[in-house]
Structure 1
Amino acid sequence: MDTSSLLRTSGTVLAVAGLLMSGCSSGSSSSSASASPKAAKSGQPQKKTDALQVLQPLPDAVPAGLRAYYEQKLSWRECGVEGFECATLKVPLDYESPGGGEDVKLAVSRKTATGPGKRLGSLLVNPGGPGGSAIGYLQSYAGIGYPEPVRARYDIVAVDPRGVARSEPVTCLSDSQMDAFTQVDQTPDDQKEVDQLVASFKDFATGCQDRSGEVLGHVSTVEAARDMDVLRAVLGDEKLTYVGASYGTFLGATYAGLYPRRAGRLVLDGAMDPSLPALTMNRDQTAGFETAFTAFAEDCVQREDCPLGGGSARDAGRRLQGFFKKLDADPVPTGEGRRLGESLATTAVIAAMYDEGAWAELRGALQSAMDGDGAGLLKLADLYYERDADGSYENLMFANPAVNCLDLPAAFGGPDDVRKALPSFRQASPVFGTGLAWAAMNCTYWPVQATGRPNRIQAKGAPPIVVVGTTRDPATPYRWAEALAGQLGSGALLTYEGDGHTAYGRGSECIDSTINTYLLEGKAPKDGKRCR
């Protein structure tokens, strides 16, 4: 179980949040983002004052060394998907040495405004991650599935962040190695299994270092936010209009913190709290999955086809834990070479928590696995990991820790730290706590030291920013949205009382109409507005 947790966004797209695998990307340079922060030693405890520091804006004037990037012209071309155009944007590998070092080529795509009505400019979208392909999201959903009035007035634009998908992707393991990695036992029962888990994280980190080159040290969220400002300028927009989901909210908030005067209409859906250290982030999200599972279980036990039986949600949780324990000792066949053990089964259940629309599929897959056929749960786990039918993996699970491990110092310094934290993780989630605690150790052995730290993001001077939180969101707990909206000087909290991850485009007329009005008219909702 590699819980670099996938965050489900609107439509059928899954994007990763990467919170559990590495402590979530929620940090950036704390004093002046224009200067390289001192590397934070992996696993070193954070001082309490760190979380109180505020991300400072960059100067309004574009530095001379960056002008060539800001003044470049994009050459748009058809890119194989009807109605969409693609281009390549050049940005510096290292913003401290622009022009003097290597450049990064970023893939960009757009679908131009369809009309009628006056064009409002570009609307940049990001589905989350880190590691989710924004271009994939645009071409499969946002460019065709966003509300028609929004698509009529905006060019919908996406850029794959550095290290992701089409933008010089980070890579770490071969497909067969990745298959093995996803099956490593993340609930070790003895020292031998702890050693095997540690070895798997070390091998993963070494693979990333060996296969990814210099870009591995330059995929932070601050750098991605600076790339977005270059794109904004190249597109001809005075201000950035943006919809970010899940990790995309941290990316958007970071942009607003760095460039408050260039922030336009920003929607941050499924919000993250950038002031938290990695350990707290991981534990909070563990509790979020328990909340989501409780909602699933309460629904399940009332149904005749519930594989977890009747009674209470707590009873269902105990039965699921018992099933996981059986799989740990004796994996079941799946109809192919891989067998379904505890790690893959847990990943499958977590994947289904992102959208209540997957609950029925999960019930059937659990029943089949309990009857000795793990194919259904394996399918859910493969969807989570972006493993294709031919056995190949997208780079999502490689880009995910690459960004996270730069953005924050690791949650743990080693196995002893995990053991000390296990009681609090188990309290947060009796079902998932043990596995998610051990999974949070992956940045401990990362080959590149963290350059970020927790920060408050205020973005003083920015216009109203809409922060959206879902009350039973599994991956970005609702209190994170409350926290971010409270930090932002102009934050307006919009609440969806419901299940699943994120809210825009998931069936709530109240949420959708409120956000559409904001994007089209600039009218932000009253802070504290609630939708059901």
Structure 2
Amino acid sequence: MIWNGGITGATRAMAVLTAVTVTVTVTVTAAAGPVRADAGDLSGYERQRLSWHSCQQGSADQTGAELDQAGATCTELTVPLDYARPGGPTITLALSRLAATDTERRVGILLLNTGGPGAPGMWDVLPIRQWMGDVGATFDLIGLDPRFVGRSTPLDCGWPAGTWTRSAGPDRATFDRLTVFERDLAARCTRRNADLLPHVTTRNTARDMDLLRAVLGETKLSYLGYSYGTYLGAVYTQMFPERADRVVLDSAVDPAGYGARVLREAGPANEVALRDWADWVARHHDRYGLGSTGQQVLAVVDGIHAAAARRPLRVGHHRVDRQSLPYLLLNRLGDDRDETHADLAETVRVLRRAATSGSATPTASLADTLSFLLTGAESATGSVQAAILCGDVPVSRDPADYWRDIRQHRASEPRFGEVTRAISPCAFWPQQPRERPTVVRNAVPALIVQSTGDTRTIYRHGQAMHRALTGSRLLTLRDARIHGVFGNYGNACVDGVVIAYLAGGKLPADDLDCVGTASP
């Protein structure tokens, strides 16, 4: 999926954690022993005592080691699998805490979510504490692995790939192959996780968040969410409006357009971004040799597409076909900084070499992405992403609807419409969502941050979130193409406004604009 978390920029977002077999327990356990949780009653869960401990799990656990070194602690929270039956099976959620050091000015807890959906969150406390400067010391920062993600009770469908995102390709035959691929992914999830899938939803994650707030003894919860995390935050404000304190939603989703087809409108923005990248590469022709004009660079890209359509490209031990190729471009167009432009230029050089010479050795970055895209090493990542999206919002189950949509937009979105409008496993999901999609419409104060050139959650989405949250303010970063602005991009204007809001709890009097300049 292309919903990269805000803190990771243009490369693939998801941290890698090994999935294990799911074991669903049936007893809520607190430090003092088992606690009975009757149906409809969460008091037993709210009374549980969290046992905070070191975060590292074995010598190879780099994430845990970094958390321990920074002074963070970790724990596990027990929650109901099904909130309609709190006396039934339970699951565990893993979380980290970087406690406030300025205890005299302590505000409360700040829960973090950097997107996905399905991105692990335990490590996020480290960069975000740094980005917040002195105000970070006034919050207990909480990094949560949401239900079925990372170190929480896991879900893995046993997929042959880390993502379900593929292009429909150039013709009906390739679209039909994609349809078979997506149907198979859905069937694998059904076989392995039929009992869990109904409970993998954003509304249940919001309930988990509020249960965590109660267990930590807080009357209110502050929240910083990026990308999908903005939808999760908006759902929380809708379900628990009186519990929300300071809310920042960065690179926001249109809550009315959220779902497996949320990228449907992103094709034009990515076409523009590719042209901008091509112009940048042309200015560095002496380094990359891909063309001295933007049109020449785009011709190279189109030539690679044509070659992959004839025969899969040999890149290391991987085979990149016409339906996998667009992901490699799309995945690196969410960031306009030179480093990301250069990474994509190196990727295109490798692909051109494979197209013209028969094979090529990938860069380290490309090898990592290809492993994610073309092997099952990170099956759990794509599995949870699909399970959340499919469990939240129903989509059309008629493949003809997707094929018609692609054909109608092929001329205006020649390179990306076939992937942003493609069919997904949700078209074949075993059941419809158990709850209706959340209608977000409330006056909870929130600060929404959006760049005008965002290629994943386009600027119109941020405006739609602003209208849905009638008490919000919109902070626009103009003349910038970045998904995940605060801290990640290093724009002093944006960072200053966000930090001031988190520090004082008071929104700007009006919507604000900043100019798109990143720090070196």
TM superposition score category, shorter chain reference: 0.7 to 0.9
Q: In structure 2, what is the Cα distance between the partners aligned to 1:64 and 1:102?
A: 14
* Shift in Å, 1:347: 1.5
| Structure 2 residue identity aligned to 1:72 | Q
The answer to whether the aligner puts 1:15 opposite 2:13 as a matched pair is yes
Alignment of 1:124-273 (within 5 A): 124-138=111-125, 141-143=127-129, 145-173=130-158, 177-178=160-161, 186-187=168-169, 189-191=171-173, 193-273=174-254
**CA distance in 2: counterparts of 1:483 and 1:131, whole angstroms:** 23
Counterpart-to-counterpart distance in 1, 2:451 and 2:509: 17
Rounded Cα–Cα distance in structure 1 between residues aligned with 2:218 and 2:277:
44
Summarize the Cα distance change of 1:521–1:348 in structure 2 as closer, same or farther, 3 Å threshold: same
2:399 maps to 415
Q: Deviations over 1:463-492 (max 9, x none)?
A: x20011111011000110011111112111
Structure 2 contact 350–362 (Cα < 8 Å) conserved: yes
Structure 2 matches for 1:66-145, cutoff 5 A?
A: 66-80=42-56, 81=65, 82=68, 83-99=71-87, 101-115=88-102, 118-138=105-125, 141-143=127-129, 145=130
AA aligned to 1:380 is L
Local SS of the residue matching 1:169: coil
Describe the shift of the 1:378–1:331 C-alpha distance in structure 2 as closer, same or farther (beyond 3 A). farther
Cα pair distance change 1:414/1:320, threshold 3 Å: farther
Letter matched to residue 349 of structure 2:
Q
Q: Distance in 2 between matches of 1:384 and 1:323?
A: 16
Residue correspondence of structure 1 range 97-496 to structure 2 within 5 A: 97-99=85-87, 101-115=88-102, 118-138=105-125, 141-143=127-129, 145-173=130-158, 177-178=160-161, 186-187=168-169, 189-191=171-173, 193-276=174-257, 278=259, 281-304=262-285, 305=287, 308-312=290-294, 316-336=297-317, 338-356=318-336, 357-372=339-354, 373-376=359-362, 379-380=365-366, 382-383=368-369, 386=372, 392-393=377-378, 395-410=380-395, 412-427=396-411, 429-438=413-422, 440-451=423-434, 455-460=438-443, 462=444, 464-496=445-477
**Structure 1 pair 156/377, CA: closer, same or farther in 2 (3 Å)?**
same
Q: Secondary structure at the match of 1:342?
A: coil
2:109–2:142 Cα contact (<8 Å) kept: yes
2:513 is matched with which residue? 530
Cα separation, 1, equivalents of 2:164 and 2:470: 41
Q: Which runs of 5+ in 1 are unaligned?
A: 17-62
Return structure 1 stretches of 4+ with deviation > 6 angstroms: 181-185
* Rounded Cα–Cα distance in structure 2 between residues aligned with 1:106 and 1:8: 19
Structure 1 vs Structure 2 CA RMSD: 2.8
Structure 2: which amino acid aligns with 1:93?
Answer: L
| Residues 378/398 of structure 1: CA separation in 2 closer, same or farther (3 Å cut) | farther
* Alignment partners' CA distance in 2, 1:277 and 1:131: 15
Q: Give the secondary structure class of the aligned counterpart of 1:395.
A: helix
Summarize deviations over 1:218-268 as a string: whole Å, max 9, x none.
Answer: 011111111101111112221110100000000000000111111100000
CA contact (8 A) 1:220 1:403 kept: yes
Please report the TM-score for the alignment, with normalisation by the length of structure 1: 0.81
CA contact (8 A) 1:6 1:351 kept: no
Aligned sequence identity (%): 31
- With over 3 angstroms needed to count, the CA separation of the structure-2 counterparts of 1:376 and 1:142, relative to structure 1, is farther
Structure 2 segments unaligned to the other structure (5+ residues): 15-38, 57-64, 516-520
The TM-score, its normalising length taken from structure 2, stands at: 0.83
User: What SS does structure 2 have at the residue aligned with 1:205?
Assistant: helix
Whole-Å separation in 1 of the counterparts to 2:509 and 2:147: 35
Q: CA 1:66 to 1:445, structure 2 compared with 1: closer, same or farther past 3 Å?
A: same
One-letter code aligned to 1:520: A
Confirm or deny: 8 A CA contact 2:280 2:341 kept in the other structure.
no
Give the distance between the partners of 1:69 and 1:287, measured in 2 at CA. 47
Q: Secondary structure at the match of 1:467?
A: strand
Higher RCO (C-alpha 8 Å, min separation 6): 1
CA contact (8 A) 2:165 2:419 kept: no
Secondary structure at the residue paired with 1:355? Answer: coil
Q: Which amino acid aligns with 1:441?
A: S
Judged with a 3 Å threshold, the aligned counterparts in structure 2 of structure 1 residues 321 and 454 are, in CA distance, closer, same or farther, namely: farther
- Comparing 346-355 and 253-262, the one that deviates more: 346-355
Name the residue aligned to 2:484: 502
Deviation at 1:383, TM superposition (A): 3.5
Distance 1:312 1:286 in 2: 19
Structure 1 residues 377, 195: closer, same or farther in 2, change over 3 A? farther
- 1:10 is paired with a residue of what secondary structure? helix
Change (3 A) 1:64 1:418: closer
8 Å Cα contact 1:219-1:402 kept in structure 2: yes
Q: Give the number of equivalent residue pairs.
A: 470
Q: Mean alpha-carbon deviation: is it higher for 203-212 or for 315-324?
A: 315-324
Contact 2:259 2:393 in 1 (8 A): yes
Q: Rate the CA distance shift 1:284–1:454 in 2: closer, same or farther, 3 A.
A: farther
How far, CA to CA, are the matches of 1:97 and 1:487 in structure 2?
31
> Contact (CA 8 Å) 2:161, 2:377: kept in 1 or not?
no
